[in-house]
Amino acid sequence: MDGVLNKDETVVLESLADHILGFDPASISDAALHTAKAGIIDTIGVTLAGLPEACTQILLDTQGIADGPGPCLILGTNQRTSALDATLVNGTASHALDFDDFSDVLGGHQSVPLVPVLFALGEEHGLSGADIINAYVVGFEVEHRFAMAVHPHHYDKGWHPTATLGIFGTVAAAARALKLDREKTSLALAIAASMASGIKANFGTMTKPLHVGHSGRAGLMAVLLAERGFEANPSAMEHHQGFFNVFNGAGNFNPTPLTDAWTGALAIELPTIGIKQFPCCGSTHQAIAAMLNLVQGNNLKSEDVKAIEITTHPRRLRHTNTPHPTSVLQAKFSVQYAVARALLDGAVRLKDFEDGAYAHPDIQKLLAITTAAPFGEANAPDGEIWDAEIAVILNNDKRLVNRVNNMVGRSGDNAMSVSELRDKFSDCAGRILTVDQCDQAFHQMSNLDSLPRLGDLTANLST
C-alpha cells in the first residue's frame, strides 16, 4: 500500500522533531542573540509599515478574516482577533513592502515566517521574551536546514522558499513555543508538507506577501490540529509521493541536514543573514550599492549620464529584470528602476515605492538608457551570485565602473549598526505609531530576552 513504511526506514520528520524539542537555549551565543533581536525588531518595523498597503487592507476588508474577537493584536491597530487570523494579516503586512530581512542560504526571508506567529502565540499564551527568542532561533534553524536539503534545485525551479520552506520554520517555532511532544511535532510538520505553497510567478504582485501570511497561518493551523490529535503521514518528506519527490524530484534533494545533529554554530550565526537597507527585492541591493558608490565617489549627476549598464548574477536577474515597471510592486522587482533611482536621488527610500514614483519623467529618461545583463553573457564580466557591476557611460564617453562583491543585504562585517537599525525601525513604525511608542518598543525589543510578558511590548504596538 502507498505510504506504508518498512520498520527500518528512517522517518525524517521524527528525527527533526527530536532536534526541535531537544534544543538547548544555552547554545544561543551572544552573536546569535543579537541577530535574533535585530531580526525581530526589523520584522515588527516593516510589519507596521506594511499595514496601510493594499494587500493588507484588502485582507482586513474581506468577510471572514479577523472578524471574530480574540487575544491577538493586528499590529498597528486596536483590533484583536484569533491567533490564526492575526498571523495571516500580520504575516502579509510583514512582507508587503519586501523590506524584511533575508538569507543567502534560505534563498528567501527568514524572519517573516516566524515573528507574526510567535507574537500571536506570545499574546495568547502569555509567553516571555526569552520564550519568543528561543522559538525564533529553533524556527530559523529548521528553515535553513530545509534549504540545505533542497537547494539550489528548489529555488531555481521557481518555488518561493520564504513560503514553501518557511512554513516548516513556522511549525517548528510554534511547536516549540507550545511545548508539543515528539509525535505531535512530527505530525504538525507532516500536515504542513501538504500546505506548503508559493510560486515565483507571483513576484511583483500582492500575492507574494500573501504567500507569507498564508503559509504562517497554515503552519500554525498544522500545529494546532496536531496538538488536538489530527493525523498525517509521518513519512510525508521521504515518501515516493512526498514533499522531496514532488517539489524537487528524485535525485534533487539530500535529507541529511534535517536528520543530522545540531552541532557547531547555528544557522543564525551565518555571515550572510542580511537586513535590508533598501525597501525592494534583496537581489537588487548589490547593484544599488554599486551605483551609490559611483554617485558618491564621482559627484555623479543623472544629466551627465548617456548610458547605464547593469551586470549581475542570472539567479538575481531572473526575477528583477523588469526594465519598465508599471506598478509599485513591479518597481520593487526592477533592478533597472532601483539603480536609476539611486543615480537620480543618491538614495533609495520607502517613498520611492509609493504612488507613481516609478513613472516620474526623470526616472523614465534613465530607464530608457539602462540595460541589464547576466554575468557570463557575451561582452559581460563574470561574477558570483551576490555580486553586481555597474558601468556608467558619461556624455563625454568616459566610462565609470564599480563592482560590489558578495553583498547579502547588510550582513557579516557590513551589518547594520544599532543606530542604523533604530533609524530604519523609526522610519517604518513611525508611519503608524507615535515617536514615544517607537522609542519604547525599540527599547523593549532590544532587551527582549529580559521581557517578562510579550503583552508588555504589544501594548506599545497598538493605536
Q: What is the pLDDT of residue 413?
A: 86
Q: What is the pLDDT of residue 4?
A: 42
For 303, 332, 433, the CA distances from 337, given in Å and listed in that order, are: 16, 8, 30
CATH architecture of 282-404: 2-Layer Sandwich (3.30)
Terminal-to-terminal C-alpha distance of the chain: 56
Question: Would you say residue 361 has pLDDT above 70?
Answer: yes
Q: In terms of DSSP H, where are the helices of 126-229?
A: 129-150, 153-157, 161-164, 166-178, 182-193, 207-227
d(CA 272, CA 286): 13
Phi first, then psi: give them for residue 199, nearest 5 degrees.
-120, 145
Cα 372 to Cα 204, 326, 369, 380, 448, distances in angstroms: 18, 18, 10, 10, 43
- CA angle, 277 then 76 then 454, to 5°: 90
- Phi first, then psi: give them for residue 275, nearest 5 degrees: -95, 140
Q: Check whether 318 has a pLDDT greater than 50.
A: yes
- Whether a cis peptide bond, with omega within 30° of 0, leads into 325 is no
Q: Which amino acid is at 204?
A: G
Tell me the torsion sign for CA atoms 424, 426, 427, 431.
Answer: positive
Question: Does residue 460 carry a pLDDT above 80?
Answer: yes
Assess contact for 339 and 310: CB atoms under 8 A: yes
Residue 409 CA to residue 310 CA, distance in Å, equals 18
Residues 51-110: tens digit of each pLDDT: 999 999 999 999 999 999 999 999 999 999 999 999 999 999 999 999 999 999 999 999
Backbone torsions φ then ψ of 215, nearest 5 degrees? -70, -35
Percent of the chain with pLDDT strictly greater than 90: 92
Bridge partner residues of 294 (DSSP): none
Give the dihedral sign, CA 150/113/56/47. negative
pLDDT of 11: 87
Neighbours of 69 (CB within 10 A): 9
Burial pattern 417-434, b for ≥16 Cβ within 10 A else e, equals eeeebbebbbbbbeebbe
445's enclosing H/E stretch is: helix 435-446
What string of DSSP letters covers 21-65? HH--GGG--HHHHHHHHHHHHHHHHHHHHHTTSHHHHHHHTSTTS
Q: What is the DSSP string of 61-110?
A: TSTTSS-S--SEE-TTSS-EE-HHHHHHHHHHHHHTTS-S-EETTTTB-S
The answer, yes or no, to whether residue 319 has pLDDT greater than 80, is yes
Q: Is 394 helix (H, G, I), strand (E, B) or coil?
A: strand
- The three cell numbers of residue 174 are 510554534
Checking 143-146 for CB contacts under 8 A at 24+ apart, the result is 143/103, 143/106, 143/110, 143/113, 143/114, 143/168, 143/169, 143/267, 144/103, 144/105, 144/106, 144/110, 144/267, 144/270, 145/16, 145/257, 145/258, 145/260, 145/267, 146/257, 146/258
Residue with cell 535585530: 38
| Predicted confidence (pLDDT) at residue 380 exceeds the cutoff of 90 | no
pLDDT value for 375: 95
Cis peptide before 152 (omega within 30 of 0): yes
Task: Return the top range by mean pLDDT from 6-10, 23-27, 277-281.
Answer: 23-27
pLDDT tops 70 at residue 307: yes
Query: Does the pLDDT of residue 141 top 60, yes or no?
Result: yes
Class in CATH terms, 12-277+418-461: mainly alpha
Residues of the chain above pLDDT 70, percent? 98
Residue ranges of domains in the chain: 12-277+418-461, 282-404
Q: Mean pLDDT, the chain, as a whole number?
A: 95
Contact 91, 116 (CB under 8 A): yes
Where does the pLDDT of residue 329 fall: very low under 50, low under 70, confident under 90, or very high at 90 and above? Answer: confident
Q: What is the mean pLDDT of residues 16-24?
A: 97
Using pLDDT thresholds of 50, 70 and 90, give the confidence band for residue 10.
low
**pLDDT score recorded for residue 359:** 97
The contacts of residue 368 (CB under 8 Å, 6+ apart) are: none
